[in-house]
Amino acid sequence: KQFEQARVEGTPDKGLQEKMEKAEREIAGHVEASHNYRLQAFQEYRGRDILPITERTQDPEYQAKLDRNYETGINLGKLTRSEMREMRREMQMIFQDPAASLDPRQSVGKSIEEVYVINTDYPAPVRREKTMELLERVGLKREHYYSYPHALSGGQKQRVGIARAIALDTRFVVLDESVSALDVSVQAQILQLLNELSREKHLTYFFITHDLGVVKHFCDRILVMYLGNVCELAESSALFHKPLHPYTESLLAAVPRLKVGQEHSTEFVLEGDVPSAMTPPKGCPFHTRCSKCMEICTREKPPVVEQEPGHFVACHLYDKKKEETEV
């Protein structure tokens, strides 16, 4: 308690400072030992190698394992509760409404610290120190540990959400419309922070959004969906330069143009309403609004085909089987 008070308020007592530093060194040693023990235990339990994040990406064997997992997949629905908890250490989520994702009765420091309480056996002073370091890493101050959500702006609350998501050994983050509730200038700052963190921690983001401007500059690959169905999947540059699916064309045509002479094309303006996802139309889910709809589209759901290397599309206009049949 004395140490904690001295840490928060500072102390002129040199003897106490030295004791604190010694205790901190001991705690750091304990943390490392405990971390190694957890890694080893997890490795035995799951029967696979788990390396510290910095080593993982440089280890060809681990990469090969990841590739195999990518091919075979892991069915998350079949994991046990404890297996799921271990998986969750690597997968986190950042929500759309930063205010709703924080407990208004808890200081933001405590909200972040909860991650360590549940997933680690760090002692309280270490948890607090790590939380404060995280707050600094996401552009907040150490003193924000004691702030309540109502005292923070939208951007600051989203930074807290990010800090919570990267508190553990995170590899994969789902961002569900995570910047759409923020001002455009704040959006840019948060995207910049996310970019820095992805490079620093080798994170993979799964970014769900309706904002094509953000998508264009933030994502490597884009998957366009309509009523829960895949329309098109391609590298960002390919999708923006040469969209194949009529729905993608209409989405891109709807982006506002600033330059005179670049008015909207009316060719791709969609008519009608989006049908209910509970009772989607038969055949191609987009056929009720597609200007290129053909007879086959009302009967058969188009398969997803690789039209160009790495560029997949689900549309009968590109269905090779159909061409063969017609020939």
Chain positions contacting ligand SF4, by CB under 6 A: 245-246, 284, 286-287, 290, 292-294, 297, 302, 315-317
Q: How far is the CB of 213 from ligand SF4 (least distance, A)?
A: 24
Looking at beta carbons only, is 159 or 245 nearer to ligand SF4? 245
Q: Cα 52 to the chain's mean position, in Å?
A: 20
Q: From the CB of 275, what's the least distance to ligand SF4, in Å?
A: 13
**Shortest Å distance, C-beta 116 to ligand SF4:** 48
User: What are the φ and ψ backbone dihedral angles of 67, each rounded to 5 degrees?
Assistant: -60, -40
Identify which of residues 47 and 272 has a Cβ nearer to ligand SF4 in the complex: 272
Q: Cβ distance 214 to 179 under 8 Å?
A: yes
Sheet architecture: strand order including 204-208: 91-94, 172-176, 204-208
The least distance separating ligand SF4 from the CB of residue 150, rounded to whole angstroms, comes to 47
Nearer to ligand SF4, 165 or 314 (CB): 314
For CA atoms 49, 55, 60, 63, the dihedral sign is: positive
122 vs 308: CA distance, rounded Å:
51
Please, are residues 215 and 236 in contact by the beta-carbon 8 Å criterion?
Answer: yes
Smallest distance from ligand SF4 to CB 319, Å: 8
Q: How far apart are CA 16 and CA 59, in angstroms?
A: 44
Among residues 101 and 250, whose Cβ is nearest to ligand SF4?
250
> Minimal distance in Å, beta carbon 299 to ligand SF4?
10
What span, in angstroms and rounded, lies between the C-alpha atoms of 14 and 95?
45
In whole angstroms, what separates CA 108 from the centre of its chain?
Answer: 21
- Backbone phi, psi, residue 236, to 5°: -55, -50
Q: How far is the CB of 286 from ligand SF4 (least distance, A)?
A: 5
Contacts of 288 (CB under 8 A, 6+ apart): 272, 275, 281
For residue 195, what are its two tokens? 């970019």
User: Would you say 66 or 296 has its CB closer to ligand SF4?
Assistant: 296
In the complex with ligand SF4, the residue whose CB is nearer, 111 or 248, is 248
User: In a 10 Å sphere around its CB, with 0-12 CB exposed, 13-18 middle and 19+ buried, how is residue 141 labelled?
Assistant: exposed
Residue with smaller CB distance to ligand SF4, 32 or 323: 323
CB of 246 to ligand SF4, least distance (A): 5
Return the closest-CA partner of residue 146 out of 315, 9, 28. 9
Radius of gyration of the chain (CA): 25
For residues 168 and 294, which CB has a smaller minimum distance to ligand SF4 in the complex? 294
